[in-house]
Structure 1
Amino acid sequence: MNLLSVAILVFLSIFTVCHGKDKASLPNIVILFADDVGYGDLEVYGHPTSSTPNLTKLAEGGLVFTQFYAGAPVCSPSRAALLTGRYAVRSGIYPGVLVPTSTGGLPHNETTIAEIVKTRGYSTSMVGKWHLGVGENGTYLPTNQGFDEYLGVPYSHDMCPCYNCFYPNDPCWNTCDLNYTYCPLFNNTDILEQPVNLTTLDATYVQRAKSVIQRNANAGTPFFLYYAFQHAHHPQFASKEFRNATARGTFGDSLAELDWCVGQVMEQLESSGVLDNTLVLFTSDNGPSLRNENRGGNAGLLKCGKGTTYEGGQRVPAIAYWPQRIAPGRTTELAGNMDFLPTIANLVGATLPSVALDGVDMAPILFEGKKSARDTFFYYFTEPNPKYGIYAVRYNQYKAHYYTQGQQNSDEFNHDKDCRPSANRTLHDPPLLYDLDLDPSENYNLSSKEYSQILAKIQEIKSQFESTMVWGESQVKKPTSTAVEPCCKKDCTPFPDCCQCHRPSWSSSILSTLGNKDFAKLRWTRN
């Protein structure tokens, strides 16, 4: 071997060390993202009648978080926060959520997890609910945001007419929006089905997720799968095998089907031989939709729910799983969905985007059992406004509320009047202060005099953070247009009723393999 060859080998060795693992050893990444599943909804978090055996299995072999936060108290901004590692006010995904006629969406200058891992040779796939915009000619869909492929409904399935939610022809138990086109099922930028068949949708999603795993395992390609469930957002729905399958009614049936999907993904990872080299992250986009009462979720011991900056609005269940890399157990360390991006980027040896990031690397918690790099969290209301800014700040175990406000998703008849939409924005000076380690339900306001130093420290943190915050142009406030509404028959009439395209229910065969409703048979069991 000549000197030039030796020099090249040395260079390549140094390059590999400095830039992470070689492609063959890069871990696969799977994010399982539930919708409107609250802190108290899963068996592992204490719900007495939920049936979630696969998530229980995941928790038994993984790390369960007790102080994990969604980046926002409602859907679109929380999804933006997860994918970009930034509070959604930076990317303009505010106020509220995007709708089918929104002309805005996640700006293309925002860097997503998918775009980051692609620089390391990853295959990137998304299955499920997007809710970060469709736009003209599908400009904001996932395939224009770093994903190689997409199969899913691009927003919440209540944002379109809904009639059949439970097999075979049972109605939906919530009012859906009749002002928009029927819910479309997209394959990349093409519409496969409109309206989507909710009773076979999960089988369709599962089939695609399993195909992604098997295909990439066969090719030896590292992959990132972002699987965002429609469950358990209202109106709840369920296929034949999950209708009336639980003691918890429609929400329980919906949650049980979500759990089945989790089990199918985990079984496929194992059968494809890649489970031991895959980081699986499960969490929810925000707290429970309490306005749906018995057909909504549960925040457990936390105050209020979806839409609010109380703990029930943003503290959510979370589980991290990676055999032999993450020690099973439970952690009280502070973390959130914005931490996924820097954690994944550092794990795969990718370069972080040159922007202000709000997420931190979770590696010390996941792999070393050490303290979190995060000691603060900022709460923005559902309709954030620069005039009011941050509603609440968490610092270590202390949380200070500068403003409080109820919200419609936490129910106009809530037994706690603070949660109701009639509870108008209220300024607190001095701020309300709670010790969340001792009082996670936010019942006991601490004396401002006794805790003056803590309040001063929190005020310093808040002022410093807000002084550097640059609010992005609101994408939600951009003009709406029926021209961007998805329709499988372009320029058809009468609009929107003409937007209907049906396909054979090729996915129903998967559900037929489930047999009866014996949930022992629906549980993922590792060999």
Structure 2
Amino acid sequence: MDLKITFIILMPLLGVVLCSKDPEKPNIVIMFADDLGYGDLQAYGHPTSHTPNLNNLAKNGLLFTQFYVSSPVCSPSRASLLTGRYQTRSGIWPGVFEPDVVGGLPLNETTVAEILHPRGYHTAIVGKWHLGVGKDNMYLPPNQGFDEYYGIPYSHDMCPCEICFYPNETCLNDCKDDFTSCPVFDGLNIVEQPADLVTLHEKYVNRSVHIIADNAARGQPFFLYYAFQHTHHPKYAGKQFRNSTIRGPFGDALAELDDGVGRVMKQLEDSGVLENTLVLFTSDNGPSLRWENIGGNAGLLKCGKGTTYEGGQRVPAIASWKGRITPGRTVELTSALDILPTICSIVGVPLPSVTMDGVDISSVLFNGGKSPRESFFYYPTTVRPEYGIYAVRYKQYKAHYYTQGSANSDENNHDKDCRPSTKRAAHDPPLLYDLHQDPSEQYDLSNDTNYASIIDQINQVKAKFEETMVFGDSQMANHSPYVEPCCNGPCDPFPECCKCTQSEKKDIHLRFIP
């Protein structure tokens, strides 16, 4: 990929099953959208999106207005969500994992799943992984603390795509034809290749509700990470949702995503675990603006995916826990980095013994209180140690030390700052914006002497943070076609020969590195 974000955290109903009587073992569900922008949901002001289930979640939950992911593209933001650490520490830079990348999320990183599994949780991921496959499947979720994995290991544009909408309509955006077809994994086995995008949503939802129902019936706490392929390009939707909205292909894809949210929430209620379930829904980064009307929307925020402007990293987020979280909205500064520390606090587990960038935001969730987070650091898509941080937010102020456009914006974007032709520019003093007054980043305050002390403070915050940053070796550095997933490989002609149906359920065979 490159939140696309949405995610939900949920916990089991007290008194229904034995395990749910233990307040230290709530169920947790994270639902993470792909390329969903700050302005894409009805709850955030979009006038033609159709998202009744997300509307209901927002009505009964806490809506975040200043929630950030650690990167404007997908693999890095997913790594930080699961580890509570900036992606640069893990080597998830620069860019995102493609199917032929040899590396992945290092196995010595501690994920949310690895924290919860030893405490008796069933840990499962459904959907997009995008943190590497590697030789012998070494980086797939079953080797990262997850008991169960069903999904595609990267973005669905990273493989040939022909049909995206029912009935048999061609995809509207480009896909990569030089890799193997998108595989659907069940555990470490490929059960379908190429993935059928028209039926993918039903498969994801069915697996998700089964995980909830099965674990609730057995009285076992569970952690479900439902990582949507929606609303990344190419947009896709099945029979029920094609031409169902007035917003077009993006709206249809979003409506299908919303259906998944609703069915997960209904299963939690039907299984009797809703009232002890924490729900958090968010996105992995801002909207892709490359496809104009087929792309997403950042609302009043500047630019989108791929940039360190607000539209690239400030994303929609909703948290809900019936009877525990008071419905409303918050302006507190929070981040997906904070999910792991908050889960550790709720479950009563010590933090991993590593440098942690996330903070416990329980005070925001449960008490309507202040966030302990005062600062946030923006890294670009193509991180390079010699440049480091592009921007810093401190309290309500944001300083841009570098700015750059993105390939995920259209060359004809109305804002030239967003365009891919806009090269990296250094700023000394940094551009300065008051995000409480100017969330669109329109009015630079850097030359106003009244703000000189603010810039000095931000410079100090930046320098102090950079003293703690040790870049991990890049996991993106090495490529080989021998790690591309192939259900019946080695075979010829590669990669076209890598095809099997769901009913065949063949074991995975990677074209192993010699």
Quick check: TM above 0.5?
A: yes
In 2, Cα distance between equivalents of 1:23 and 1:372:
27
What does 1:437-452 align with in structure 2 at a 5 Å threshold?
Answer: 437-446=436-445, 447-452=447-452
Task: State the alpha-carbon separation in 2 of the partners of residues 240 and 129 from structure 1.
Answer: 22
Aligned-partner Cα distance in 2 for 1:121–1:349: 13
Aligned to 1:462: 462
Q: CA deviation at 1:448?
A: 4.0
Q: Which residue of 1 aligns with 2:194?
A: 195
Q: Which residue does 2:160 correspond to in 1?
A: 161
The Cα shift of 1:410 comes to: 2.1
Q: Which residue in the other structure is 2:359 paired with?
A: 360
Q: How does 1:104-253 map to 2 (within 5 A)?
A: 104-253=103-252
Is 1:397 the counterpart of 2:430 in the alignment? no
CA distance in 2, matches of 1:412, 1:87: 30
- Once residues 378 and 22 of structure 1 are traced to their aligned partners in structure 2, the CA distance between those partners, rounded to angstroms, is 39
* One-letter identity of the residue aligned with 1:154: P
Deviations, residues 230-256 of structure 1 (Å, cap 9, x unaligned):
000000000000000000110000000
CA-to-partner distance for each residue in 1:251-304, whole Å, 9 max, x for gaps?
000000000000000000000000001111100000000011111000000000
For the Cα contact (< 8 Å) 1:79–1:132, is it kept in 2?
yes
1:120 deviates by: 1.6
Give the gaps of 5 or more residues in structure 1. 1-20, 507-527
Would you identify which runs of 4 or more consecutive aligned residues in structure 1 move more than 4 Å? 21-25
Give the C-alpha shift of residue 432 in structure 1.
0.4
Contact 1:448 1:455 in 2 (8 A): no
Deviates more, 1:219-228 or 1:22-31: 22-31
2:106 partner SS = coil
Equivalents in 2 of 1:143, 1:443: separation in Å? 46
Name the counterpart of 1:522.
none
Other-structure match for 1:84: 83
Alignment correspondent of 2:55: 56
Q: CA deviation at 1:467?
A: 1.1
Aligned 8 A contact 1:153 1:185 in 2: yes
User: Which residue in 1 is equivalent to 2:343?
Assistant: 344
Structure 1 residue 289 corresponds to structure 2 residue 281: no
Q: Considering only CA atoms, is the larger Rg found in Structure 1 or Structure 2?
A: 1
**Kept in 1: contact 2:191–2:503 (CA 8 A):** no
Instruction: Provide the rounded CA distance (Å) in 2 between the counterparts of 1:488 and 1:385.
Output: 36
Cα distance in 2 for residues equivalent to 1:24 and 1:358: 26
d(CA) in 1 for partners of 2:84, 2:339: 7
Equivalent residues of 2:281, 2:317 under 8 A apart: yes
> Using the alignment, how far apart are the partners of 1:34 and 1:375 within structure 2?
26
For 2:204 and 2:380, the matched residues in 1 are separated by: 32
- What is the distance in 1 between the residues matched to 2:116 and 2:80? 17
Matched residues in 1 for 2:117 and 2:248: separation?
Answer: 42
SS at 1:451 equivalent: helix
The amino acid of 1:444's aligned partner reads Y
Partner of 1:13: none
C-alpha separation in 1, matches of 2:368 and 2:297:
29
Is the CA contact (8 Å cut-off) linking 1:73 and 1:287 kept in structure 2? yes
Contact 1:29–1:280 (CA under 8 A) maintained in structure 2 = yes
What stretches of structure 2 of length at least 5 have no aligned partner? 1-19, 506-514
Give the CA deviation at 1:24. Answer: 6.9
Cα separation, 2, equivalents of 1:24 and 1:466:
38
Shift, 1:117, TM fit: 1.0
Aligned-partner SS, 2:436: coil
Which residue matches 1:11?
A: none
The answer to whether 1:482 aligns with 2:481 is yes
Distance across 1 between alignment mates of 2:407 and 2:497: 33
Residues of 1 paired with 2:232 and 2:437: CA distance?
A: 31
* Partners of 1:468 and 1:61 in 2: CA distance: 39
Counterpart AA for 1:157: H
Aligned partners of 2:79 and 2:105 also within 8 Å: yes
- The residue correspondences of 1:22-33 to structure 2 (distance < 5 A) are 23=22, 26-33=25-32
The residue identity in structure 1 corresponding to 2:454 is: I
The Cα offsets for residues 186-221 of structure 1, whole Å up to 9 and x where unpaired, read as 001100100011011010011110110011101111
Which position in structure 1 is the counterpart of 2:69?
A: 70
Q: For the Cα contact (< 8 Å) 1:282–1:318, is it kept in 2?
A: yes
| Contact 2:393–2:399 (8 Å) recurs in 1 | yes
Question: How far, CA to CA, are the matches of 2:118 and 2:341 in structure 1?
Answer: 14
Q: Aligned partners of 1:235, 1:276: CA distance in 2, in Å?
A: 36
Equivalent in the alignment of 2:418? 419
1:450 counterpart letter in structure 2? N
Identity %: 65
Contact 1:125 1:224 in 2 (8 A): yes
- CA shift at 1:27, angstroms? 0.8
Secondary structure, in 3 states, of the residue corresponding to 2:369?
coil
**Distance across 2 between alignment mates of 1:426 and 1:99:** 28
Residues 142 and 187 in structure 2, CA contact (< 8 A), matched pair in contact too: yes
Question: CA separation in 2, counterparts of 1:468 and 1:54?
Answer: 41
User: Alpha-carbon deviation of 1:119?
Assistant: 2.4
Alpha-carbon displacement from aligned partner over 1:459-495 (angstroms, at most 9, x marks no partner) = 0000010011100000011x21111100000211111
User: Secondary structure at the residue paired with 1:264?
Assistant: helix
The structure richer in helix per residue is 1
Over the residues paired in the alignment, what is the CA RMSD in angstroms?
1.4
| 1:503 to partner: Cα distance | 2.8
Q: Which residue of 2 aligns with 1:257?
A: 256
Please state whether the residue corresponding to 1:427 is helix, strand or coil. strand
Q: Does 1:274 align with 2:284?
A: no
- AA aligned opposite 1:462: K
Q: Distance in 1 between matches of 2:61 and 2:328?
A: 6
Look up the SS of the partner of 1:408 in the other structure: coil
Secondary structure of 2:441's partner?
A: coil
Structure 2 CA distance, aligned partners of 1:410 and 1:137?
Answer: 36
Query: How has the CA–CA distance of structure 1 residues 69 and 437 changed in structure 2, closer, same or farther, with 3 Å as cutoff?
Result: same
CA deviation vs aligned residue, 1:147-174 (integer Å, no higher than 9, x gap): 0010000000000000000012000001
Query: Judging changes above 3 Å, is the alpha-carbon distance between structure 1 residues 330 and 168 closer, same or farther for their aligned structure 2 residues?
Result: same
In the alignment, is the contact (CA less than 8 A) between 2:24 and 2:347 conserved in 1?
no
Equivalent-residue separation in structure 2 for 1:430 and 1:119 (angstroms):
49
- Report the TM-score when normalising by structure 1: 0.91
